[in-house]
Amino acid sequence: MVAADLSRIAFELPPEERLEMARRLVESVVAPVPLNDAVTEGIRRLEDMATGRVEGLTEAQYRAALG
């Protein structure tokens, strides 16, 4: 099986399973030591957005929050 085949199969997974797979793949390449708390929290927040657990800001809301 080649990377293209694996990618095709991975894209058929539910979002939560794709996020878990992505996390494991990235950690296997760039994070040989445990992630610090800030990075772990950032990943959790990205997952919340990607899975719809929380709703992000619109561009207008973001710009308004900047002041």
pLDDT of residue 11: 92
What are the C-alpha distances in Å from 56 to residues 16, 17, 24? 18, 21, 25
pTM of the predicted model as reported, rounded to 2 decimal places: 0.46
Domain count for the chain: 1
28 C-beta neighbours (distance < 10 Å), count:
9
Does residue 16 carry a pLDDT above 90?
no
Spatial CB neighbours of 6, under 8 Å, sequence gap ≥ 6: none
pLDDT of residue 32: 61
Spatial CB neighbours of 16, under 8 Å, sequence gap ≥ 6: 47, 51
Distance CA 61, CA 43 (A): 22
User: Which domain, by its residues, includes 36?
Assistant: 3-66
pLDDT of residue 60: 92
